[in-house]
Structure formats: structure tokens, C-alpha cells
Amino acid sequence: MTSSSQFSRRRFLQASSATGLALLAAPAILRAQTPVTVSIGRQPWAAGNAPVTQYAIDNKLFEKHAADLGYAMTADWRDYPSALPQVEAFVAGDLHFGMWGNTPIIRGIAAGQPWSVLNVGEGRLRFVIATRADSPIRNVEDLKGKTIGVLLGGDPYNALSQILLHELGSGDPRAHDIKLVNTPTQAQAATIPDGLDAAVVIHPAFLKAQKQAGTVGIVNSFGYTEGHYKGPAGEGAGILLESVKKSAFYPDGYYLHRSFWVGQNRLIDEHPKLVVAFAAAQQEAVEALNKLGPAKIAESVSKYWELDEESGAKVVGDEVLFARGWVWPTRGDVGAIVETSKFMVEGGLIPEALTWEQVTQNVSKVAPLLREAYERAGSTPAEAVFVASDASDLRGLPTWEQEKWPSN
């Protein structure tokens, strides 16, 4: 056989082999060409989820990772002012992924809703007990007998309850003759409207009202005093209140704020790789944003926060996602769900607390998928970082390492 005929035979075999591989791969190619639309709810007026999701939207990160995993996916991002309308959309089956805090998650798990907790959406949001500049309310003791605006059944209420518990001995406002008024809109609450003596306000809304309406703060959920404070601990901002050290959530503060992404089980069961793509996209966004610095991060969502560079950087500085540099849920994060459910019982919000078994069973469904996303993102951070003893936030091994968790 001549060299030219040998060459032709090799080319034929190579072409035949390629054709065979292409035929074998055809089903996968067809799947990739099948369009999938995923609806995602977010709260851009809140905290860390705003810049993370905005970066993912602007750079089509979810779509990119989904394509790598075999999906021609369209992301239908939807903005919500709070958790409640997202939860309603979930119950109606009109939303695939959503993000909210402990209270709706606890109620969902208790009710056996077909949802699974995914990764951390944001955390360490600072809640400020705010009042007017001329108010005689200067410390927590002064709240007795007053009317306070708060988002009932939400994280602001939980934060207030924990501050009252550790400063005054009971987390039940009624024990202190405190009247609560539901204030679902943070922007309005931060102005301390007529009829309120004080309000519990998330940090972005407080900073905006501080400059525009002269709103002042007395204490925050991290356990520090704010500028209007005057009392047993001293006067002015930045004083650590000793009672916070007794909190089960310390060093996070009086209250362990974590908001989680939640997914519909029907989507997870049918398209599990979309969870991998979703979490990997958020991790990529956090890493990219951290390279920009707090001011630039805040600037990317200035249309929502409406804060100047300095104030926006303060909000970013609090955010656990940027402090850590990763989005993976840990035992400490999940512990927020368990512990919060206990004092929700004390406040009469639910009949009985969740057990560790209920919560770990919920997060177990997607734990292997989050591990895959973690590996896809370069296995950042190393395992030692999850359990670092000098961390400024509660953490622990991730949810995919449950077998190594200490007994509950």
C-alpha cells in the first residue's frame, strides 16, 4: 500500500470516528438546543444580593454556566420589594428561584413546602433601632411603653426581639408595654412617620434617611451603639454592648441574619444542573466584585440603594458574602434557621421550633449540587477557611459535609 493510500485510509477512519462520536453526542446537542426559561426573584433594595445579582445579570453569568452544562437557558429576573410577594409567587408556582430571610424559610419548612434551601443570598444585614433627632429615646430601656414600627414576622422583628431579650430580659415586646406597628416599606419606616416613636430599619434605608430626614439610631443588631445612644454603656456610636456577648449568635451580633436562595423542588428534580449553574454564577460574581472594592460595588446598584459612595461602601462592608468571598452555606448559616425558629415560638409566630433533622433534610437535597458548583468554581475556599476559629461570623463546614458536623 502506498503512503498516499495509507494517508487516505487514516483520513477516512478519522472522519468515520468523528461522525460516530457526533451521532453519539446528538441527544446531548438536542437537549442543549431545547430552550429553558428560569424565573428568579431578587430584592435589589436590600443588601448584598443586589450587586451580586446585578453583576450576574449584566454579564449573563447564569446563562453562561447553564450553557456549559448543556442548557440554552433564558433567565427571567424579577425585582421584588420584599420577601412576601416572592413567597406568594412560590406558592402559586410562578417563580423558580427566590431569596428571603429566616422567617419565610422556617414557615415553609414547617409547612412541608416543596422548596429547598440553596446557597447564601446575603448576610449580616445591619438592623438599626432608629428615631428622630430630637427624641428622648436614647437607649433600649427608653423603648418601654413606646410605639415601634417594624416589619412584623420578618427579620427586623426578629432582630428587635433579640435586642429586647438580651438588654431587657424578655424578647416579647408586650412584656415591656411596647406597641408594634407593621411597617412593610423600609423607606417609609426610616423617616419615623407620625404615630411612631421609633422603628427598626435596615442599614441602607437608615443611611439614606439619616442624610435626607435627619433620622438617628440608638443601637444596632451587631451589638453596637449608634450616634444617638446615651446610657449605661456611655454616649455615642461604636460602643459594644456587653449583653450581646450572651447571644447564641455572637460574634454575628444579637441576631444572625442570613437570607438564602430557595428553589422549587420540581425544577431541581427535572434540571438539577441548573442549581449548579446558578450557584457557580453567584460565586463568580462575588469574586469579580471583590476585586472592584466596596465603593465600586455600591455604585453598581446606586439606582436601588440611592446612597452616596461613602454610605454605600458601609453597606458593602457589612455584607458576609464580600467579607468571606464565597456563597456556600455552612452549618453556622443553617443554624440561623434552627435557632430563629426557637424564639419565633416564644413570640407566638409558629407553634413549635424546627428540629435540626428537619433543616438538614431540607438542605441535603441540593448539597451534592452545591458541592459540584464549589468544585466548578475552583474549590474556593479551602476547607480550613470554613472552620477558621478567628472568623468574624458564624460558619462551619459546608452543607455537603454534614457527616462531619458535630452532633446537634
Judgement on whether residues 377 and 274 belong to the same structural domain of the protein: yes
d(CA 210, CA 146): 21
In the predicted model, what is the mean pLDDT of residues 331-346?
87
Is there a contact between 40 and 98 (Cβ–Cβ < 8 Å)?
yes
In the predicted structure, residue 22 carries a pLDDT above the cut 60: no
Q: Tens digits of per-residue pLDDT, 155-176? A: 899 899 999 999 999 998 999 9
- Minimal CA–CA distance to 225: which of 317, 142, 339, 320? 142
Judgement on whether residues 131 and 146 belong to the same structural domain of the protein: yes
In a domain, 251, yes or no: no
330, β-bridge pairs: 398
Judgement on whether residues 300 and 378 belong to the same structural domain of the protein: yes
Of 331 and 18, the one with more pLDDT: 331
d(CA 395, CA 408): 15
pLDDT at 35: 85
The one-letter code for the residue type at 110 is A
Judgement on whether residues 241 and 312 belong to the same structural domain of the protein: no
Percent of the chain with pLDDT over 90: 77
Percent of the chain with pLDDT over 70: 91
* Dihedral sign for Cα atoms in the order 88, 93, 97, 102: positive
Judgement on whether residues 113 and 81 belong to the same structural domain of the protein: yes
Judgement on whether residues 266 and 118 belong to the same structural domain of the protein: yes
In the predicted model, what is the mean pLDDT of residues 88-108?
94
In a domain, 213, yes or no: yes
- Minimal CA–CA distance to 122: which of 62, 202, 180, 184? 202
In a domain, 46, yes or no: yes
Binning pLDDT at 50, 70 and 90, where does residue 30 land? very low
CATH number for the domain harbouring residue 148: 3.40.190.10
The one-letter code for the residue type at 238 is G
Residue 390 exposed, middle or buried by CB count within 10 Å (0-12, 13-18, 19+) = exposed
217, β-bridge pairs: 130
Judgement on whether residues 73 and 90 belong to the same structural domain of the protein: yes
In a domain, 317, yes or no: yes
The count of residues in the chain is: 408
What's the chain's average pLDDT? Answer: 90
Range of 372's domain? 34-123+257-404
Binning pLDDT at 50, 70 and 90, where does residue 97 land? very high
Binning pLDDT at 50, 70 and 90, where does residue 7 land? very low
Judgement on whether residues 271 and 329 belong to the same structural domain of the protein: yes
pLDDT at 108: 93
What's the first-to-final CA gap in the chain, in angstroms? 75
Residue 231: CB atoms within 10 Å? 17
Of 153 and 189, the one with more pLDDT: 189
Burial 136-162 (b: 16+ CB within 10 A, else e): ebbbbebbeebebbbbebbbbbbbbbb
Q: Tens digits of per-residue pLDDT, 368-383? A: 999 999 999 999 999 9
In a domain, 374, yes or no: yes
> Helices (H) and strands (E) in the chain — how many of each?
18, 12
Domain boundary among 215, 246, 277: 246
In a domain, 105, yes or no: yes
Judgement on whether residues 261 and 190 belong to the same structural domain of the protein: no
Judgement on whether residues 211 and 294 belong to the same structural domain of the protein: no
The one-letter code for the residue type at 396 is G
Binning pLDDT at 50, 70 and 90, where does residue 40 land? very high
Binning pLDDT at 50, 70 and 90, where does residue 408 land? low
Angstrom distances, CA of residue 201 to CA of 184, 187, 291, 303, 384: 10, 8, 29, 19, 35
d(CA 86, CA 94): 9
Q: How many domains does the chain have?
A: 3
In a domain, 252, yes or no: no
Judgement on whether residues 360 and 288 belong to the same structural domain of the protein: yes
Angstrom distances, CA of residue 282 to CA of 70, 88, 89, 90: 18, 24, 22, 21
In the predicted structure, residue 25 carries a pLDDT above the cut 80: no
Is there a contact between 186 and 200 (Cβ–Cβ < 8 Å)?
no
Binning pLDDT at 50, 70 and 90, where does residue 12 land? very low
In the predicted model, what is the mean pLDDT of residues 341-365?
88
In a domain, 57, yes or no: yes
In the predicted structure, residue 242 carries a pLDDT above the cut 90: yes
260, β-bridge pairs: 100, 120
In the predicted structure, residue 2 carries a pLDDT above the cut 90: no
Judgement on whether residues 217 and 279 belong to the same structural domain of the protein: no
